[in-house]
Amino acid sequence: MSERIAYLFGFIALSVSLGMGQTSALSLRFPAKVEAGTAFSVPTTGSGTATVYIVGPGDAIRRKVQLGENLAFGPEDLHNAGHYVVFVDGSSTQDTQFDVVASHQPATLSFLAKPSRLSVNRPEGISGVVYVFDAFRNLVLQQEPVSFELADSTGRTQSRSATTRDGVAWVKMNSAAKAGPAQFQAVAGNVREKRVIQQVPGDPCAIRMTARGAGKKERIALETEPVRDCNGNPVPDGTIVTFTETYQGGQSTVDVPLKRGVARTELPVRNGAVISVAAGVVMGNEIHWSGGL
Amino acid sequence: MRIRFSIPLALVVISTLLAAFLFGDAKPSVRVAPIDLVEPRPVETQTQASVVRDYLKAWETLGSAMSENRADLLDGYFVGVAKDKLTDTIHEQQKLGIETDYRGLSHALQVVFYSPEGLSIQLADNVEYEVDVRDHGKAVGTQRVRTRYVAVLTPTESKWKVRVFQSGDRTN
């Protein structure tokens, strides 16, 4: 039994000494943080050569190093930000880890502006989200100021500023009262990204129609005034306007799309009829038709 | 009947069994922080569950892709910059003849951002894992890592995929 215990201790001692092995005098002092894409060097101690492995999800490097000399890395060697682990072949005791961090200088912005089209006068209807990346497509995790500007078709602007947190900044903006394309831009450092937000008129605010003889026997010509939203923007062509004629014993309805801002139609003459007009949920005026043509 | 075997052989067998027990199919422990304060869009419980599920699957996929040097495995859970960078690393590993094993031990997850339109969600993960390196099949070493990952996921047809996958400062 005592013989076996002695054998066990001997085996453990041998394993430890093998683990310490030829590189027991080796020391590698990596900086705790390195900026992506910068050159740096790591002093080594000891004698002979060793193989150094630097691995992480962002890169894999293997180098033969002459111990006692500097282990040099060029700007192109480590440019993906992340956490890296250093292994030295033959030394299981060497435990070195370091971070490659993104450059502080923004180089590209991933700018998501939504929606691409919305109606005018919507409070906080537009959202802008910016992810800030450096020249190596690393997310810049340090705080960065980002300014947002939304300029409507008349040139009036809204500005907001935000600071990134974990690489992202966001804002919400109001859509303008004036319809038309708005320029939405985000700026971080020297980088700017632009998006276009189409601001379209809202629902019709009021509708007014007039009636007259159509020139044909027993027909009435109906025509709306230009249909506008509550901010005075012309409602887009194609918006459906509904004319309804209610008479004793029945009802006739005609749906007409707006064309050049107005809707026109003809209805049969029926004495005592009430003619109404509507678009969506908005009702217009009524005409009581009691006369002949 | 008496079974005879040498002590070194027994140590090897025990170590192997222990390693298999400890690391074989062991799943990492996962903690998820409450989602009450996520801005600017509130996260529904169902969304959070699917994001966390797909993120953890992405880690499993990463482990398989890195240990087998198969970039095609990344397609399932990675997209965009994250996929490009991991693919480059796998190609580099192939060129060098090395493989890396990433074994997740624990994840402490927090949703830190959910975009207003629901088009991206960002997680912070204080993760602990072990990484093994093999050079042409020969073991080089193992190290335990604690670090903080930031991941941006975007929705696809059927799941969330990791678009940005980057570790930052160590938490310790």
Judged by a CB distance cut-off of 8 A, whether residue B77 touches chain A is: no
pLDDT of residue B17: 43
d(CA A274, CA A269): 11
| Tokens representing residue B87 in the block | 């693919």
d(CA A155, CA A186): 17
| CA Rg value for chain B | 19
H or E segment to which residue B46 belongs? helix B45-68
d(CA A186, CA A125): 17
Range of the domain at B105: 25-167
Overall domain count for chain A: 3
pLDDT of residue A142: 93
A163-194 pLDDT, tens per residue? 999 999 999 999 998 899 999 999 999 999 99
Residues A77 and A93 in one domain: yes
pLDDT of residue A219: 86
Kindly list the residues from chain B whose CB atom is less than 8 angstroms away from the CB atom of residue A58.
85, 89, 166
In 3D space, the residue among A133, A53, A36 whose CA is nearest the CA of residue A96 turns out to be: A53
Q: Which of A200, A230, A260 is the last residue of a domain?
A: A200
CA distance B41 to chain A (A): 11
CA distance A23 to chain B (A): 13
pLDDT of residue A270: 86
Residues A190 and A144 in one domain: yes
In 3D space, the residue among A54, A135, A137 whose CA is nearest the CA of residue B89 turns out to be: A54
* B4 within some domain: no
pLDDT of residue B16: 42
A185-224 pLDDT, tens per residue? 999 999 999 999 999 998 899 999 999 886 767 889 999 9
Tokens 């319809």 — which residue?
A179
> Which band of pLDDT confidence, cut at 50, 70 and 90, is reported for residue A155?
confident
Say how many residues make up chain A.
Answer: 293
B1 Cβ contact list (under 8 Å, min separation 6) = none
> Could you tell me the CATH number of the domain that includes residue A233?
2.60.40.1930
Residues A77 and A130 in one domain: no
* B71 within some domain: yes
Range of the domain at A232: 204-289
B92, B95, B99, B104: CA torsion to nearest 10: 10
A164 class by beta-carbon count within 10 Å (0-12 exposed, 13-18 middle, 19+ buried) = buried
Residues A128 and A84 in one domain: no
Is the pLDDT at B99 greater than 90, yes or no? yes
Among A83, A114, A138, pick the best mutation site for testing chain B contact (most B Cβ within 10 A).
A83
| Tokens representing residue B109 in the block | 């997850």
φ/ψ of residue A11, rounded to 5: -65, -45
| Tokens representing residue B128 in the block | 């602990």
| Tokens representing residue A19 in the block | 């683990």
* B8 within some domain: no
Count Cβ atoms below 10 Å from residue A250 Cβ, excluding itself: 9
Q: Which of A153, A172, A200 is the last residue of a domain?
A: A200
> Could you tell me the CATH number of the domain that includes residue B99?
3.10.450.240
Q: Which of A150, A170, A200 is the last residue of a domain?
A: A200
Minimal Cα distance from B166: which residue of A?
A: A82
Q: Do B85 and A80 touch (CB under 8 A)?
A: yes
In 3D space, the residue among A158, A269, A289 whose CA is nearest the CA of residue A220 turns out to be: A269
Yes or no: say if A255 and A231 are a contact pair by the CB < 8 Å rule.
no
- Bridge partner residues of A274 (DSSP): A246, A288
Tokens 């894992």 — which residue?
B129
Is the pLDDT at B13 greater than 60, yes or no? no
B125-169 pLDDT, tens per residue? 999 999 999 999 999 999 999 999 999 999 998 899 999 999 975
* B104 within some domain: yes
> Could you tell me the CATH number of the domain that includes residue A26?
2.60.40.2950
C-alpha neighbours within 13 Å on the C-beta side of residue B27: 6
A6-18 pLDDT, tens per residue? 444 444 433 333 3
* B172 within some domain: no
**A141 vs B88, B120, B168: nearest CB:** B168
Kindly list the residues from chain A whose CB atom is less than 8 angstroms away from the CB atom of residue B143.
85, 87, 95, 97
| Tokens representing residue B101 in the block | 């094993």
pLDDT of residue A46: 80
Count Cβ atoms below 10 Å from residue A32 Cβ, excluding itself: 10
> Which band of pLDDT confidence, cut at 50, 70 and 90, is reported for residue A91?
low
Kindly list the residues from chain A whose CB atom is less than 8 angstroms away from the CB atom of residue B98.
53, 55, 60, 62
Yes or no: say if B141 and B130 are a contact pair by the CB < 8 Å rule.
no
* B66 within some domain: yes
Is the pLDDT at B5 greater than 70, yes or no? no
Residues A170 and A130 in one domain: yes
Please calculate the CA angle A96-A97-A99 and round it to the nearest 5 degrees: 150
A42, A46, A49, A54: CA torsion to nearest 10: -40
Overall domain count for chain B: 1
Q: What percent of chain B stands above pLDDT 90?
A: 74
Bridge-based pairing of strands B138-155 and B121-135 is antiparallel
Residues A165 and A211 in one domain: no
A9 Cβ contact list (under 8 Å, min separation 6) = none
Residues A11 and A30 in one domain: yes
H or E segment to which residue B23 belongs? helix B7-23
User: Mean pLDDT over residues A47-71, rounded?
Assistant: 91
Yes or no: say if B44 and B119 are a contact pair by the CB < 8 Å rule.
no
> Which band of pLDDT confidence, cut at 50, 70 and 90, is reported for residue A90?
low
d(CA B127, CA A56): 14
A261 class by beta-carbon count within 10 Å (0-12 exposed, 13-18 middle, 19+ buried) = middle
Yes or no: say if A171 and A186 are a contact pair by the CB < 8 Å rule.
no
Is the pLDDT at A279 greater than 90, yes or no? yes
Kindly list the residues from chain A whose CB atom is less than 8 angstroms away from the CB atom of residue B100.
55, 60
Yes or no: say if A241 and A278 are a contact pair by the CB < 8 Å rule.
yes
Q: Helix (H, G, I), strand (E, B), or coil: what is residue B136?
A: coil
Residues A58 and A12 in one domain: yes
- ipTM value, please give it: 0.84
